[in-house]
Amino acid sequence: MRDRLPALPLLTLIGWTFFVWVSRLRNVFGNDELSGWGTSWRIGVVVVFVALASLAVNGRLVGLFVGWTIAYWIVRGGGILVEDHSAGFKAIHTVLMVVSIGLAMWVWRSRNR
């Protein structure tokens, strides 16, 4: 049973990542106000997250996946908080940021025990 415990944090982060970023992809394709560049970079972020999560499933690039998750949310989440967005938008993204960073830290701590 002890050998299975480190898998739980990683699988939880992977599942959360797919949930968040596949949902994001639907939002990007449904947003007619985005320019070509605006759509492209948003799709690129989704591709990076999904690719890293997919590679992390079998234990490869877990550190990169965790590091990317934390760095992305600190930079982008912090930007969202200081930019001109509605309180609801900021609240939702703060929850996404806190959960994502928390899960990434859980993975990091479980792998370094």
Are 43 and 28 within 8 A, CB to CB?
Answer: yes
- Predicted confidence at residue 1, as pLDDT, reads 43
Domain that holds residue 60: 2-111
3-state secondary structure 36-105: HHHHHHHHHHHHHHHHHHHHHCCCCCHHHHHHHHHHHHHHHHHHHHHCCCCHHHHHHHHHHHHHHHHHHH
Positions in the chain short of pLDDT 70: 1-5
pTM above 0.95, yes or no: no
Q: How many domains does the chain have?
A: 1
